[in-house]
Each structure stands twice: as structure tokens, then as C-alpha cells.
Amino acid sequence: MISNFRAVRAIYVFEMSRTGRTLLQSIVSPVLSTSLYFVVFGAAIGSRITEIEGVQYGAFIVPGLIMLLLLTQSVANASFGIYFPRFTGTIYEILSAPVSSGEIVLGYVGAAATKSIILGLIVLATAGLFVPLEIAHPVWMLVFLVLTAVTFSLLGFVIGIWADGFEKLQLVPLLVITPLTFLGGTFYSISVLPPAWQTVALFNPVVYLISGFRWAFFETADVHVGVSLAMTLVFLGACLATIAWIFRTGYRLKA
């Protein structure tokens, strides 16, 4: 139960203020990097692939690119946010304070998710400068945006607890999350793959995230939107269960 809102606010404000101090790295760099995808893929591939499932290719890749940014930034922000107090030793002051585990998670994960959502909305607005963009279901778009940001911020929190060095903070995002995102239909629909590879692709959890998010834009999806939502909630529940176990056992939190 959340009762110490002052503590939650203190953690949240501190984490958000770090974004202001590193504005170039936190906001400008990811937005510019994602914008380059619009230029490169929109111009190079878009000139050869005009449409996918009735949607202009440049617009088709927008949900996938936003998801790519959302997943990587959520994990990076949350993992660094909790790892740094462990690295400096200030985590023990937080653990000894009258702050519950739920309040600690809410402060760190809430800040990481907020940063990712802001980035996602900025990229969405930027995409409108490159391609004509319409959102068929704006409410569902926001639902998938928020759920994905929160879920992967929780995953980043777990990674930040698990990591025992700065190198490990980059291990999962670079070697797992980014490849899965590129193979999850960021730049294409899995329906263009051979049947055998379509079956393999369904074992990639990112497919469900991108598919549901893309449906909110164009009402076209690789899997049913209900399945996408259910898979997102299952992953969210798994992350929450893992964090609950971490605080119950003190895994890598207690010396």
C-alpha cells in the first residue's frame, strides 16, 4: 500500500531532475537518432515499398520506431536509476528509511516511464513532419504507450538490481531487447515472412507490443489486439512478481 507520498515524490522529482541536467543525452539524442530512421528507411526503402497492408510505408514504420525507442529508453532509464544508488551505496539509506518497497518502485519506475512516454510523444509529433499520420484509436494508442513504458521500466528496474557493473546494464538492452525489436516487425509486417518464420516470430514478445500499438494507428495488426493486450499484461505481471521476490529475499540489495 502506498502511504508515504512524500517519499515517492522525492524519488520521482530527483530522477526527473536528472533528465533536465542531461537534456542533450536524455531527450535530444534519442529523438535525433529515431528521426534518422525516418529519413533513411522512409527515403531508401519507402521508394521501393510504397505500401504495406494499405498503409504508406513511411507511416507504417512509425509505431515500430516509437516502440523501439520506448523499449530501449524505458529499460535504460530505470536500470541506471536504481543501479546508481547501489553503486554509490545510497540505496541502503533508502532501504533503512520508512519507505516501502512499493513506494521505492513507484518513484523510480514512475520517473523512468514518464521520461519514455515524453520521448515517445515527441517522436510521434516529429513523425508528423515526415509522413501524413492519422491515429484511428488515440485512447488505445495511449494505453499501449503507457503500459509498454511501465512494463519495460519495471524490467529495467530488475536489470538494475541484477547488474553488478555498468557493462551488464547494457548487456540486455543491446543483445536482447534491440534485436528482438528489429525482428518484431518494426520495419515490416510478419505476414510477409514465410509461414515457418511467421510461427517463429510469434515467440517474440515484442511482436505483440508492436502489433497492438500499430493497430491503434491503422487498425491493421499481425495478431489480434486482445492477444497483444493480454501478452503485455502478462509480461507486466511477471516483472511485478520478480520485483516482489527481489524485495522479499533482498537479492543484491543487502550486503
What is the predicted pLDDT for the residue at 133? 85
What is the predicted pLDDT for the residue at 150? 97
What is the predicted pLDDT for the residue at 38? 74
What is the predicted pLDDT for the residue at 53? 83
What is the predicted pLDDT for the residue at 40? 75
Looking at 88-102, 144-158, 208-222, which range is the least confident one? 88-102
What is the predicted pLDDT for the residue at 46? 59
Res. 27 pLDDT band, cuts 50 70 90: confident
Q: How far apart are CA 247 and CA 253, in angstroms?
A: 8
Res. 115 pLDDT band, cuts 50 70 90: very high
Q: List the grid coordinates of 91.
A: 540505496
What is the predicted pLDDT for the residue at 228? 96
| 187 vs 75, higher pLDDT | 75
What is the predicted pLDDT for the residue at 47? 61
Residue 172 has pLDDT above 80, yes or no: yes
- Residue 132: count other Cβ atoms within 10 Å of its Cβ: 9
Res. 207 pLDDT band, cuts 50 70 90: very high
Q: Rounded mean pLDDT of 74-89?
A: 92
In sequence order, what are the residues at sequence separation of 6 or more whose Cβ sits closer than 8 angstroms to the Cβ of residue 61? 37, 38, 41, 42, 186, 187
What is the predicted pLDDT for the residue at 167? 85
What is the predicted pLDDT for the residue at 131? 82
- The string of DSSP codes covering 182-198 is HTTTSSS-GGGS-HHHH
Q: Rounded mean pLDDT of 127-133?
A: 83
Res. 1 pLDDT band, cuts 50 70 90: low
Residue 74 has pLDDT above 70, yes or no: yes
**Residue 76 · residue 60 · CB < 8 Å:** no
**Long-range CB contacts (within 8 A, 24+) of 86-91:** 86/160, 86/161, 86/252, 86/253, 91/253
Residue 31 has pLDDT above 70, yes or no: yes
Most confident of 18-22, 79-83, 92-96, 125-129: 79-83
**Residue 120 · residue 69 · CB < 8 Å:** yes
